[in-house]
């Protein structure tokens, strides 16, 4: 495996930013790719620091792209930068131009934890023709229904991200709404994997998304069990995600 720290200038963000990339060896073209997203208090280095993701993907022939998006909630922020445009448009184009990764939907996946689980489902539900599968680990999946009224500091941060919080429901930042929209549409639907620890503070949000996805008939694999919002749980569950991914056998 090759591990690459890639520092580059983003035209969307108008600043220098970074991504870490794991590439299989020997080198060839068109590796299947997993975009692996970080949580609210983390950055592009965290999956490598807190899990054995490089070792886990080595036998799979899978490239992994891990970008930095700060505390953006993968949004074009009301009072901040355009991280949704960056991660959904510019990042994939740059990654494909820099590295030998696949352009095929069948070989393009996204996963993340907490804020990154939300980002992963937001990407796959917004662009079902681009992603074959998406996984959320302890995701913040109900931004419309889960915004706390009694936490002024947290509410102020969410207003920095979204602006008028009353406009989140039913809009492009509401993954519950995006799931309903996908269920009504024709065309491909990504496979979804969702897990959450039963002691996690986001457990109720995960139950709400699970119940809605099942009612809508989406292709959802759901797992829960003992666990809190912490890296021991995510290190175990990312291995489950990798085993679940619909990777194609390639004898070439």
> Residue 151 pLDDT > 70, yes or no?
no
Q: Percent of the chain beyond pLDDT 90?
A: 89
| pLDDT category of residue 251 using cuts at 50, 70 and 90 | very low
Write the pLDDT tens digit of every residue in 11-68.
Answer: 999 999 999 999 999 878 899 999 999 999 999 999 999 999 999 999 999 999 999 9
Residue 18 bridge partners (DSSP): 7
**In the CATH hierarchy, which top-level class contains the domain 2-244?**
alpha beta
Maximum distance among all Cα pairs of the chain, rounded to whole angstroms? 56
Write the pLDDT tens digit of every residue in 177-227.
Answer: 999 999 999 999 999 999 999 999 999 999 999 999 999 999 999 999 999
| pLDDT category of residue 149 using cuts at 50, 70 and 90 | low
> Residue 147 pLDDT > 80, yes or no?
no
Write the pLDDT tens digit of every residue in 102-146.
Answer: 999 999 999 999 999 999 999 999 999 999 999 999 999 998 887
pLDDT (mean) for 88-107: 97
In the prediction, which pLDDT does 252 show?
39
CA distance 56 to 59: 7
Question: Within the chain, where are the H helices?
Answer: 46-50, 53-57, 83-85, 91-98, 115-126, 152-162, 175-184, 203-216, 231-244
Among left, alpha and beta (phi > 0; psi -120 to 50; other), residue 16 is beta
> Residue 84 pLDDT > 80, yes or no?
yes
pLDDT (mean) for 144-156: 73
Under 8 Å between Cβ of 22 and 2: yes
CA distance 233 to 134: 18
> Residue 249 pLDDT > 80, yes or no?
no
Per the prediction, the chain carries an average pLDDT of 95
């Amino acid at each position: 495996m090759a591990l690459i720290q890639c520092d580059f200038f983003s035209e969307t963000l108008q600043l220098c930013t970074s991504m870490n990339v794991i590439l299989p060896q020997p080198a060839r073209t068109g590796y299947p790719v997993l975009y692996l997203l970080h949580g609210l208090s983390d950055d592009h280095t965290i999956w490598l620091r807190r899990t054995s993701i490089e070792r886990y993907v080595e036998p799979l022939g899978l490239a992994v792209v891990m970008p930095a998006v700060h505390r953006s909630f993968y949004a074009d922020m009301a009072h901040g930068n355009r991280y949704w445009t960056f991660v959904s448009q510019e990042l994939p184009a740059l990654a494909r131009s820099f590295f030998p990764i696949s352009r095929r939907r069948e070989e393009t996946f996204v996963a993340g934890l907490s804020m990154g689980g939300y980002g992963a489902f937001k990407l796959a539900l917004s662009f079902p023709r681009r992603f074959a599968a998406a996984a959320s680990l302890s995701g913040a999946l109900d931004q419309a229904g889960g915004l706390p009224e009694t936490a002024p500091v947290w509410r102020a941060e969410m207003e920095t991200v979204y602006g008028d919080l009353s406009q989140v429901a039913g809009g492009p930042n509401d993954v519950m709404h995006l799931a309903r929209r996908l269920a009504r549409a024709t065309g491909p639907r990504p496979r979804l994997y969702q897990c959450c620890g039963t002691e996690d503070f986001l457990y109720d949000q995960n139950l709400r998304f699970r119940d809605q996805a099942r009612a809508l008939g989406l292709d959802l694999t759901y797992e829960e069990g003992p666990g809190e919002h912490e890296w021991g749980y995510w290190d175990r569950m990312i291995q489950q995600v990798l085993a679940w991914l619909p990777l194609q056998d390639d004898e070439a």
